[in-house]
Structure 1
Amino acid sequence: MAVTANLDKVLTKAYESTPPDELVKAPVAALSGVSEADAEHLQQAFNIKTIGDLAGNKYFRAASAIADLARISG
């Protein structure tokens, strides 16, 4: 079963029609609001090069989990 989602608001124009299985391999600068300089800083600090790397980063995952727990327990 195919799943579709409109991600236009979170992606740069160049990546708007890219399927999710390819987006995970796209550079983090493909995300709207993430500049090339931001992407370089993420690579230097956390070795994050792709959207998939960002999504799987243990620090970002931990921060997201903590924020979710705070929302449901607060």
Structure 2
Amino acid sequence: MPTNQSLTNILDKAYENKPLKEIIEASPAALQGVSEKDAEALKQAFDIKTIKDLADNKFIRWAQALVTLAAQEK
């Protein structure tokens, strides 16, 4: 598991010492900078209920792939 220090800039304090398997099942609001209102909007728009759902979202994966491919263009 990453050290607590490495998670302090990623997670809200309440989640910093939790196991990663528990963190990925938490609401996206567990991520720093994502409010409960933001998490509710993600749920309504994309049925994203957990951090795992967010990471697995096809639109996010497509966007990441496009950014990676664009970086390889000449």
Residue 2 of structure 2 is matched in structure 1 by 4
Matches of 1:61 and 1:35, distance apart in 2:
22
User: What SS does structure 2 have at the residue aligned with 1:43?
Assistant: helix
Matches of 1:9 and 1:72, distance apart in 2:
29
Matched residues, percent identical?
51
Cα displacement string for residues 30-69 of structure 1 (whole angstroms, at most 9, x for unaligned residues): 0000001100100000000100000000011111111111
Deviation of 1:7 after TM superposition, in Å, equals 1.6
User: What SS does structure 2 have at the residue aligned with 1:10?
Assistant: coil
Matches of 1:15 and 1:72, distance apart in 2:
36
Deviation of 1:4 after TM superposition, in Å, equals 2.4
Which consecutive residues of structure 1, in runs of 5 or more, have no partner in the other structure? Answer: none
Matches of 1:8 and 1:18, distance apart in 2:
12
When normalised by structure 1's length, the TM-score is 0.87
Residue 21 of structure 1 is matched in structure 2 by 21
Q: Which runs of 4+ in 1 moved over 4 A?
A: none
Matches of 2:7 and 2:66, distance apart in 1:
25
Q: Does 1:61 align with 2:61?
A: yes
Matches of 2:46 and 2:60, distance apart in 1:
10
Cα RMSD after superposing both structures: 1.3
Residue 42 of structure 1 is matched in structure 2 by 42
